[in-house]
Amino acid sequence: MSEEKNPNETSSAIRPSRRAFVKGSVALGAGVVGASGLLQRENGNSAIDQLLGVSTARAASKRRGLKYEVPPGKLDSYYGFWSGGQSGEIRIVGVPSMREIKRIPVFNRDSASGWGRDDYSEQLLGGRSSGDTHHVHLSYDNGTYDGRYVYVNDKAGGRLARVNCTTMECDAITEIPNSQGTHGIFPQRHKTGLVLCNAEFRTPQPNNGDDLDDPKKYGAMHTAVDGESMEVQWQVLIEGNLDLCATDYEGKYSFATCYNSEEAVTLEGMMAADRDWLYVFNLPAIEKAVKQGRTIVVGDGSVPVVDARGDNGPYVQRIPVPKSPHGVNVDPTGKYAVCSGKLSPTVSVVDIGKLDDVFAGKIKPRDAVVAEPEVGLGPLHTAFDNRGNGYTSIFIDSVITKWNIAKAIEAFNDESVDPIVQKIDVHYQVGHTNASMSETREADGNWLVALCKFSKDRFLNVGPLHAENDQLIDISGENMKLVHDGPAYSEPHDCVLVRRDIIHPEKITPRVGPRFEYYEKLAKEDGINLLTDSKVIRKGKNKVRVYLTSVAPIFALREFRVKSGDEVQVIQTNLDSVEDLSHGFCMSKHDVNFVVNPRDTRSMTFTAGEPGVYWYYCPWFCHALHLEMRGRMIVEA
């Protein structure tokens, strides 16, 4: 059966010309300050939108044989890891069903699990309870995901966190010194040695109250964190705002897009230059300089800093690219890094194989750019399939542009060649996009997700704060097909799609790692066996430690007594070994509520209130007699 014409496709006959694109980019740069009201479509219920209904896309997808519906009882083919934006969390979404399966609290407080309030997470978070997660990336081995860790940034707090895929829980958080606006992050791909982190905001270095009003003395850091120990190894001081990050497949280079090469502090100043840079960091040269002590002291001096401000040199090369670049993405072959200029209609294709000659001074930095196809107004990010195509999100035009890398290189010297394969409308103002296994050597070209910032008429009205719209696109055939709209709570920025066979979480809590070392240390101190003992131990005049076990539907301690004003630490161990049989502990009137999964131990510390009786109970449904699973805390004067 022949393919029907895709109503989303923009034919080559009506694609904008180079001149039209250039005019559009000039208009965009001139009017960006007031653009927010102009970027949104006035009527999303147009005839073309009706043609894009799910029923039409579903029929087309079924004819081609790639199914996106996952029947009850069946499992998705991919784990999707979504950042949670201002929520400070990570979300796990099944693909292609687009069903949200779990929210992993990271930098936020989560009342359901107790994260951010229980003892271990409070210690990790340092008393803070909010964050801004933008970018999620998995650990690597030999160019593909190894299924061990997920890393995520906190732009608000300047931190990097790690989630252990065994339990899908955060197990480490690292403060990044001398940095604000930690934004783009990326692990090395040959193996997860380093996780590279970009500071988007330039600040005085050191930021100690001096040089407050002289932006020329500001700088930003490109930071290397050991992905295993989560300790900061070194930093490179650079002059521009660092945005998105990427790494090569050999462990030699890391990349950072740089907007505001002007070193301005206002929007107008940041848009003045026609070109900005792609920073290329030479990791072996930087590590050699650190080893030899060719570093400077910044802040408290706890981290060695290589000063790479100024001219191109052995540590950093600056590849000129069109103004205000945002995304940088490396294709699955490892040959090309693709940069997207927000205020240009083009993406720049950088030949990574030419970078050795750039650092050696044999060619100019700009000579590493081998293609610059015109993809649309407001390009942001590029994903890849396994057939040599890139898929770039276009914010202003609200489209995904599919283009061929080889043809783009050919078109760089021959304008008669058209590298654009197809454009498909998305709704609306798409930010990040990513494809299944796109950031590995095993990109498979099955699914693409468009993370759209506006949804205004796509879902039921729920008030002034609208949902985001995550759209699923089938890219397995010649034409892209939109098959699903999915509302998302504000504001996921990025996602990765990982094959199901790579991820192997445990179903019962493995009692290993830093958290259990913490509890075993407490138990040893008190002569307690966490798996058998339930006991109240007074640790001093005003401090009590309560150990208790639970087996559905009872707590081993039906009551315990403390005094008003006591600091009370409740340490609960769930002895059930049945999959999906979680317990918890909730103390009435005391802001205490946390989950304890099968074979897990958790704790929370609080101050006992006024004299009286306070009931504690299991908040997670666990048994037919679940409501009876309770006990009394008796507070004496």
What is the DSSP code string of 23-41? HHHHHHHHHGGGGGGTSS-
296/261 same-domain check: yes
Contact 152, 106 (CB under 8 A): yes
Q: Which of 324, 342, 365 finishes a domain? A: 324
Region 151-172 average pLDDT: 98
Say if 349 falls within a structural domain: no
pLDDT digits (tens, 9 = 90+) for 68-95: 899 999 999 999 999 999 999 999 999 9
Contact 599, 167 (CB under 8 A): no
d(CA 24, CA 34): 15
For residue 428, count other CB atoms closer than 10 A to its CB: 19
Identify the pLDDT of residue 45. 37
Q: Which of 469, 502, 535 finishes a domain? A: 502
Identify the pLDDT of residue 42. 35
Say if 366 falls within a structural domain: no
460/522 same-domain check: no
Q: Is 277 exposed, middle or buried (0-12, 13-18, 19+ CB in 10 A)?
A: buried
Greater model confidence, 34 or 442: 442
DSSP letter assigned to residue 80: E
pLDDT band at 211 (very low <50, low <70, confident <90, very high): confident
Counted residue by residue, the chain has a size of 637
613/496 same-domain check: no
For residue 237, count other CB atoms closer than 10 A to its CB: 19
pTM: 0.90
525/457 same-domain check: no
Region 421-433 average pLDDT: 97
Q: Specify the range with the lowest mean pLDDT, choosing from 31-35, 439-443, 491-495.
A: 31-35
d(CA 166, CA 158): 26
Buried b (16+ CB within 10 A) or exposed e, 609-637: beeeebebbbbbebbeebeebbbebebee
pLDDT digits (tens, 9 = 90+) for 122-152: 999 998 999 999 999 999 999 999 999 999 9
495/541 same-domain check: no
Region 547-570 average pLDDT: 98
Region 603-609 average pLDDT: 98
CA-closest candidate to residue 223, choices 192, 182, 193: 182
Q: Is the pLDDT of residue 25 over 80?
A: no
Region 145-174 average pLDDT: 98
79/44 same-domain check: no
What is the domain extent for residue 219? Answer: 178-324
CATH code where residue 468 lies: 2.130.10.10
386/460 same-domain check: yes
Q: Is the pLDDT of residue 221 over 70?
A: yes
Q: Is the pLDDT of residue 364 over 60?
A: yes
Identify the pLDDT of residue 64. 52
Identify the pLDDT of residue 523. 97
Q: Is 602 exposed, middle or buried (0-12, 13-18, 19+ CB in 10 A)?
A: buried
pLDDT digits (tens, 9 = 90+) for 438-458: 999 999 999 999 999 999 999
Identify the pLDDT of residue 263. 79
491/391 same-domain check: yes
pLDDT digits (tens, 9 = 90+) for 369-410: 999 999 999 999 999 999 999 999 999 999 999 999 999 999
Residue reference for tokens 């994260």: 115
pLDDT band at 268 (very low <50, low <70, confident <90, very high): confident
Q: Is the pLDDT of residue 54 over 80?
A: no
d(CA 485, CA 198): 32
Give the percent of the chain with pLDDT over 90. Answer: 83
Domain count, the chain: 4
Q: Residue 223: enclosing H or E segment and its boundaries? A: strand 218-226
Identify the pLDDT of residue 33. 38
d(CA 107, CA 93): 19
Say if 145 falls within a structural domain: yes
DSSP string of 262-323?
A: T--SSHHHHT-SSEEEEEEEEHHHHHHHHHTT--B--TTS-S-EEE--SS--SSEEEEEEES
pLDDT digits (tens, 9 = 90+) for 301-343: 999 999 999 888 999 999 999 999 999 999 999 999 999 989 9
Say if 455 falls within a structural domain: yes
555/610 same-domain check: yes
Give the percent of the chain with pLDDT over 70. Answer: 90
CA-closest candidate to residue 564, choices 610, 616, 605, 614: 610
Identify the pLDDT of residue 12. 37
Say if 433 falls within a structural domain: yes
DSSP letter assigned to residue 409: H
192/291 same-domain check: yes
d(CA 362, CA 533): 71
543/622 same-domain check: yes
Q: Which of 288, 303, 324 finishes a domain? A: 324
Structure tokens at 63: 């004819």
Say if 567 falls within a structural domain: yes
pLDDT band at 265 (very low <50, low <70, confident <90, very high): confident
Say if 270 falls within a structural domain: yes
Say if 354 falls within a structural domain: no
CA-closest candidate to residue 407, choices 366, 361, 432, 371: 371
Q: Is the pLDDT of residue 473 over 70?
A: yes
Q: Is the pLDDT of residue 120 over 80?
A: yes
